[in-house]
Structure 1
Amino acid sequence: MNLLTLTFLFPLLGCLILSLGGSRLTLRGAATVGVVALGLAAAATTWVGLDFLERGSAARVVKLWTWIDVGDFQPTMGLLVDGLSITMLGVITGVGFLIHLFAAWYMRGETGVRRFYAYMNLFVFSMVLLVLGDNLLLLYLGWEGVGLCSYLLIGYYYQTSANGWAAFKAFLVTRIGDVLMAIGLFILFVELGTLDIQTLLARAPQVWARGDLMVELATLMLLGGALGKSAQLPLHTWLADAMAGPTPVSALIHAATMVTAGVYLIARMHGLFLLAPDVLTLVGWIGALTLLLAGCAALAQTDIKRVLAYSTMSQIGYMFLALGVGAFDAAIFHLMTHAFFKALLFLSAGSVIVSCHHEQDMRRLGGLWRKLPLAYAGFVVGGAALAALPLVTAGFYSKDEILWEALASGHIGLLLAGLVGALLTSLYTVRLIVGTFHGTPGSDHSRHADAGRGLVHGVPLVVLIVLSTLVGAWIHPPLDEVLPASPGAAQEVGRHALEIAAMLVAVGGVAVALWLFVWRRELVARLVALPEGARVWRLWHHAWGFDALYDVVLVKPFRGLVWLWRGDWINRLCNLVPWLARGLRWLLTRTQTGRLRHYAVSMTLGATVVLIFLALG
């Protein structure tokens, strides 16, 4: 058996064992199965990655079997192995294993641990299929699988109705993007006659000219799918509510893997997007707007997980910005480093939440830096990488590369948006750390916080702390033969000046944040107390009012139409069938009198009628 198949068979096997094991599995046994399944998948990925690098970076396809055979439509179950899929596979199984390990500590004492790990393993299986699929139909199968698992895990605590609605909202909003993506697949198949990824990328320039209407329409539909999964404007409203799930879920699905699926899709289909320059430019500006709006929203949140949720939107906005300027490799590089430091921040937040008896409001925390030293170290290192502090953090190198590509490609507006976004990132990151760990405790939960202990708690945090530093930036994804050269690859003029400017923005943002949230906290309080400041704070706290806008523009009109059409003629026409069935039932019940004389007469009459018809025939 090819070792590559083990990367998704191990998680699938873990899911089956957990699903069918039932009460025979103890809670500890369920955690062991879930963690070991991911550990074996990560080991298989390591072996496959080393073998790939030894053989060279040429792409190859591992054909397993023909999936569907209908006329000319013959998609195969094949696995595409190249630098991009190996990079994504390493992030999914490597970071996923650390998160599964941490979850064994986080989920202690919870009910339904078997269900939790079954869903998590199923998610990893679907995500691996998504990134390894050699055709868009198999990719779409994994795409829908991760959407289903996201719904199940967001609504894990389904006993609370708000959590169920959060899961439903995520499922519904992302489904809008999935429908658009499905339309894009239909267009590609009709126009190019295949859904095989390598064949598509080779055939598209032969069929379509640059800027052709059909290629722009197809890529626009694919972009719609990417916006839904990656929580970018205007399909971004679900991600903050998705924090209703357990914190390891937020770390795995809503920070490190699933929300980056849209970035992966656009990078994988880069040949199509390069033929649609207007759509590619739209990708960049959507990313720029998202990173700015989400950065402002993060500044006004009080829940530590919601701050990190809007931070995730913002950082994925940087990835879309990189894709929009044609720097596909820079987007994937930031995707990888972001998985390291954002998973670290979410797991550190999980450590705080459990240690403080599931308190996650910053106003009720504080004074924790001595009590929770490892979680504090995770927030400091992860926050430094998020704010892209220069030279020592992984985030600095990946974000600096994106800013340089924006400048090199001549997109000055996108560059300025990226710099402003970096300033906002420094502000809300320092506010998050200061509000959570410094000052005086805001409740009994923070006064009596109990630090997490044990290897399953400490090892994932320590490993992610190391990867969030310069060490993580040393990992260079093997993308040279997969993605085209970036605009900045052939020039260096102005690069050092931009690096200095980016350093000043990051460090200056931290200094301003310390001044505002440590030394002049009363100034911030006075500003928020002013009528204008209160309005801005409410606007940002409610994420610019998109939920209210969609409720007025979409939800209420839809519910109104449903109310108006509750008795429409189509419904009444469909009701004829049950009405006819009820009428016939009533007639038949009239014949059931219980009198033998009536039964004998009716049998005689019936036999007579039959004989008459036979005689006439």
Structure 2
Amino acid sequence: MMDHLLWLIPAFPLVGFILLALWGKHLSRFWTAIIGAGSVSLSAILTLFIGLNFLSSTPADGHYSQTLWTWFEVATFIPKITLYLDALSLVFVFVITFIGALIHIYSVAFMAADKDYARFFACMNLFVVSMLLLVLADNLLLLYLGWEGVGLCSYLLIGFWYENPSNGYAARKAFIITRIGDTAMAIGLFVLFYQFGTLSIPDILALTPTTWHEGATITTVTALLLLAGGVGKSAQLPLQTWLPDAMAGPSPVSALIHAATMVTAGVYLVARMHVIFQLSPIAQMVVAGIGAATLLIAGFSALTQYDIKRVLAYSTISQIGYMFLALGLGAWTAAIFHFMIHAFFKALLFLAAGAVIEALNHEHNMFRMGGLKSKLPVIFWTFLVGSASLAALPIISAGFYSKDQILWYAWASEHGNTTLWLIALFGAFLTAVYTTRMLLLTFWGDAKTAVSHYPSKLMTIPLAILAFFSLFAGFIELPHNFGHLTLFSDLLHQVLPETILKAGIHGELLFQLLAMLVTFGGIYMAYILWYRKPQLTEKLKQSAPLIHLYRFWFSGWGFDQVYQVLLVKPVVFIASINKNDVIDKFYQGIAILMVRLNRALSFTQSGSLRWYIIGLVVGAILILSIQVIL
């Protein structure tokens, strides 16, 4: 049994964080890198070791559990610091530690010239620790600690270069918007505790089917409250506006947020609490609807961006939308499978984009790039692999196998329907278009910015490893008509229920061929519009009806402007009216009085010895006079 080693998985990066936070300024860059990247790498190695043991000899109860200590005791509420590893959390822990380690190794070179080297790795380590606590938590209180931890770390890392005011604004925006969902989630936890008298996840999942009946109001309300938390963290409609601005942070931060931590937390929460969502058809329908709408809206926005990182940001929103769609369909394993594959290719794309940006002297605009295919060959080929997987290039990319599952379930599952399938299919078309556009503008055509810096091996080796998994990881879960190899779903079915299909497997090939045609159609359309006939694109973009639509999509469908009018300005206006009320004047008066008393007393400290002697004489005379009178 390996359960006694579970605590070491989060302990390694936690120790790294403590060392770097307390003594980072006194450590050399070499030792900072060893502690920062080495601690997460040790967690990744230990996770592989524990994971192989778990797979080879799965315990009878299907999980490892380790109680470290009792957190606190309040009457009958006695939450414990207990780590819980089952098939679902194993997948997440593997992604967090393995991809996190590669991102840390890449960061050793990428952040080498940064003055706050130790602070960066300290925050990155804390990010990994928080996410590990979230997915290993045995109870929802400990999960919520990790949940808020990743929120804090996102704030610290998005605003890492805080000298630029816009970066600080992006960090605050992410922190505040995700707090909206977190507040709803906290209310949901209170409801669960009130109903069940515990926040233990296994106990709640066991008690829910016998305590709540399907379609009950309390079930739907609780599910929607939990969903609100997931929507905020995973940047889904209507709380998606923080993620594109989060690109203000360094590229490794973007890779960690998008691939292994922050935005995947909502997917984990819904999957972990799937029993509650299964008992609420309304909540499941809402999950699927949010996912479908998000993947479509984000896809259109990605199509108009010129900043390479913002394209990838909208792409993440869209791909998480696919995961939410699958969760809403009850295709639990398909959602988690796409989560894992997405983690590989999205980390790859962000890290490769970071290498391009650094090579071009921090240029983000794709229209000022071009011609990098021969100048940065390693970056090009790895970026090409990541793009192929994002666009779900048939047969040869891992993204094809994970996205194909979701498309098939959108049609053939018990909760699937034609509308959801058409939206998912059109989303795949948009993905192929904007991915090919990004690839062509960045690497083909004439060079518009000279290469000033070439990436080191510490940056290219992680890219090569991620590219390998972006190609071949999909083979662990083949479609029904491809031999039906189901290593991934067989593992997850220990935790998540089997999805019921309402259609047989005979029609699956037809839908796969249709999805392939859609993907190739998107690639060809992007090839025509941004390579063969770019003048046609400019002409279309400047036409009267399309120019407004283009700006609308570019602005993220105007959500920021709507929130500014409906929420931000009214709050600021009320605060400006209220800032000089009676209570404020009272405290302002105390502050003014203290300042004036301080100034009055400061006159006694003139520095003149003559005045000090006179003061002593006057004081002595007063004291003697009082004694004589008394």
TM-score norm. by structure 2 comes to: 0.91
Is the aligned partner of 1:487 residue 2:500?
A: yes
Give the letter aligned to residue 466 of structure 1.
F
Contact 1:404 1:488 in 2 (8 A): no
2:150 and 2:261 in contact (8 A); partners too:
no
SS in 2 for 1:61: strand
Q: Residue 161 of structure 2 aligns to a residue in which SS? A: coil
Contact map agreement 2:307 2:365 (CA 8 A) in 1:
yes
What aligned pairs does 1:26-41 form with structure 2 within 5 A after superposition? Answer: 26-41=28-43
Q: How does 1:210-229 map to 2 (within 5 A)?
A: 210-229=214-233
Counterpart of 2:560 in structure 1 is: 547
CA offsets, 1:562-591, max 9 Å, x none?
Answer: 1222233554577787799999999x99xx
CA spacing shift, 1:404–1:603, aligned 2, 3 Å: farther
Aligned AA (2:9): T
Find out whether 1:294 has 2:298 as its counterpart.
Answer: yes
Letter in structure 1 aligned against 2:364: Q
Give the Cα separation in 1 of the matches to 2:592 and 2:98.
59
My pick for the range that moved more, 209-218 or 567-576, is 567-576
57-66 or 110-119: which moved more? 57-66
Question: What's the CA shift for 1:51?
Answer: 1.2
Aligned counterpart, 2:309:
305
CA shift at 1:194, angstroms?
0.7
Instruction: Go from structure 1 to structure 2 and tell me whether the alpha carbon gap of 1:2 and 1:527 turns closer, same or farther (over 3 Å shift).
Output: same
Partner of 2:472: 470
Once the two structures are superposed, residues 127-178 of structure 1 have per-residue CA deviations (whole angstroms, 9 ceiling, x without a partner) of: 1000000000000000111111111111111111111111111111111111
Query: Which whole-Å CA distance do the structure 1 matches of 2:450 and 2:238 have between them?
Result: 41
1:448 aligns with 2:461: no
Structure 1 window deviating more from structure 2 (592-601 vs 294-303): it is 592-601
Change (3 A) 1:72 1:412: same
- Among the aligned pairs, what percent are the same residue? 48
Secondary structure (helix, strand or coil) at the match of 2:66 reads strand
Do 1:441 and 1:447's aligned partners in 2 also have CA atoms closer than 8 Å? yes
Q: Secondary structure at the match of 1:64?
A: strand
Task: Please list, as runs of the form range in 1=range in 2, the aligned pairs for 1:79-478 lying within 5 A after superposition.
Answer: 79-408=83-412, 409=414, 410-442=416-448, 446-454=449-457, 456-474=458-476, 476-477=487-488, 478=491
Would the alpha carbon gap of residues 439 and 2 (structure 1) be closer, same or farther in structure 2, given more than 3 Å must change? same
Letter in 2 for 1:328: W
For the residue of structure 2 that corresponds to 1:441, the secondary structure is coil
The one-character-per-residue Cα deviations of 1:533-590 (angstroms, maximum 9, x if unpaired) are: 211111111111111111111000001111222233554577787799999999x99x
Q: Give, as a single letter, the amino acid of the residue that structure 2 aligns with 1:158.
A: Y
Deviates more, 1:407-416 or 1:365-374: 407-416
Matched residue type, 1:154: I
Q: Distance in 2 between matches of 1:401 and 1:162?
A: 40
Aligned to 2:7, the other structure's residue is in SS state helix
Work out the CA distance in 1 between the residues paired with 2:278 and 2:584: 47
The CA deviation string for residues 15-34 of structure 1, in whole angstroms up to 9 with x for no partner, is 11212223431112211211
**Counterparts in 2 of 1:579 and 1:508: CA distance versus 1, 3 Å:** closer
Q: Which residue of 1 aligns with 2:549?
A: 536
- Counterpart of 1:611 in structure 2 is none
> Residue by residue, what CA displacement relative to the aligned partner does 1:94-131 show, whole Å, maximum 9, x if unpaired?
11111111111211211111111111111111110000
Tell me, in whole angstroms, the C-alpha distance in 1 between the residues paired with 2:323 and 2:513.
21
Residues 369 and 447, structure 2, Cα contact 8 Å, conserved in 1: yes
Instruction: Report the CA distance shift for 1:45/1:583 in structure 2 as closer, same or farther (over 3 A).
Output: same
* Secondary structure of residue in 1 paired with 2:395: coil
Residue 612 of structure 1: aligned partner: none
Is the Cα–Cα contact under 8 Å of residues 371 and 449 in structure 1 kept in the other structure? no
- Contact 2:361–2:451 (8 Å) recurs in 1: no
Taking the aligned partners of 1:579 and 1:604, their CA distance within structure 2 comes to 39
Aligned to 1:496: 509
Match of 2:16 in 1: 14
Contact 1:153–1:249 under 8 Å retained in 2: yes
- Paired positions, count: 600
Give me the whole-angstrom Cα distance separating, in 2, the residues matched to 1:584 and 1:155: 40
**What is the distance in 2 between the residues matched to 1:272 and 1:18?**
41
- Aligned 8 A contact 2:259 2:344 in 1: no
Q: Deviations over 1:318-347 (max 9, x none)?
A: 000001111111100000000000111011
- Alpha-carbon distance change, 92 to 601 in structure 1, aligned in 2, over 3 angstroms: same
The 2-side partners of 1:244 and 1:585 are apart by 43
In 2, Cα distance between the equivalents of 1:157 and 1:489? 52
Kindly tell me: are residues 578 and 448 of structure 1, through their superposed partners in 2, closer, same or farther at Cα, counting changes over 3 Å? closer
Gaps of 5+ in 1: 608-617
Distance 1:229 1:493 in 2: 38
Name the residue aligned to 1:47.
49
In 1, the alpha carbon distance for the partners of 2:475 and 2:345 equals 11
SS at 1:235 equivalent: coil
Match of 1:511 among 502, 521, 524: 524
Determine the C-alpha separation between the residues in 2 that align with 1:256 and 1:427: 25
- For the residues of structure 1 that align with 2:98 and 2:391, how far apart are their CA atoms? 24
Q: Which amino acid in the other structure matches residue 497 of structure 1?
A: L
TM-score, scaled relative to structure 1: 0.93
Q: Distance in 1 between matches of 2:520 and 2:587?
A: 67
Supply the AA of the counterpart residue of 1:72: T
Q: Is the partner of 2:81 in helix, strand or coil?
A: strand
What are the superposed Cα offsets for residues 174-224 of structure 1, whole Å, 9 maximum, x if unpaired?
Answer: 111111111110111011111000100111122211111112111111111
Residue pair 2:257, 2:263 contacting (<8 A) in 1 also: yes
Secondary structure of the 1:219 match is: helix
